[in-house]
Chains A and B, each alone.
Chain A
Amino acid sequence: DTEVTQTPKHLVMGMTNKKSLKCEQHMGHRAMYWYKQKAKKPPELMFVYSYEKLSINESVPSRFSPECPNSSLLNLHLHALQPEDSALYLCASSQDPSRPNIQYFGAGTRLSVL
Chain B
Amino acid sequence: DQQVKQNSPSLSVQEGRISILNCDYTNSMFDYFLWYKKYPAEGPTFLISISSIKDKNEDGRFTVFLNKSAKHLSLHIVPSQPGDSAVYFCAASEGRNYKLSFGAGTTVTVRA
Q: Which residues of A line the B interface, CB within 8 A?
A: 2, 4, 6, 31, 33, 40-43, 45, 48, 50, 55-56, 58, 90, 92, 94, 97-108, 110
Contacts and interface: CB of A to CB of B under 8 A. Distances in A.
Contacts of A48: 98-99
Interface of B: 31-32, 34, 36, 41-46, 49, 51, 89, 93, 95-96, 98-100, 102-105
26 contacts: A2-B46, A31-B98, A33-B98, A41-B104, A42-B89, A42-B104, A42-B105, A43-B89, A58-B99, A90-B44, A94-B98, A98-B96, A100-B31, A100-B32, A100-B51, A100-B93, A102-B34, A102-B46, A103-B34, A105-B44, A106-B43, A107-B41, A107-B42, A108-B41, A108-B42, A110-B41
A-B interface, 7 closest residue pairs, ranked by CB to CB distance from nearest: A42-B102, A105-B43, A100-B32, A107-B43, A105-B44, A100-B93, A48-B98
A42 B89 CA distance: 8
Contacts of B105: 40, 42
A19 to B, nearest CB: 20
Contact of B98 (A4, A97, A105, A108): A97
Contacts of A97: 98
A56 B99 CA distance: 9
A105 B36 CA distance: 10
A99 B96 contact: yes
Nearest to B6: A42
Contacts of A42: 89, 102-105
Contacts of B103: 42
Given A100-B93, A100-B95, A102-B34, 12 more contacts: A31-B98, A48-B99, A56-B98, A92-B43, A98-B96, A102-B49, A103-B34, A103-B100, A105-B36, A105-B45, A106-B43, A108-B43
Contacts of B36: 105
Nearest to A100: B32
A50 B96 CA distance: 12
A90 B104 contact: no
A41 B44 CA distance: 12
Identify the interface centre among A42, A103, A105: most chain B CB within 10 Å of its CB.
Answer: A42
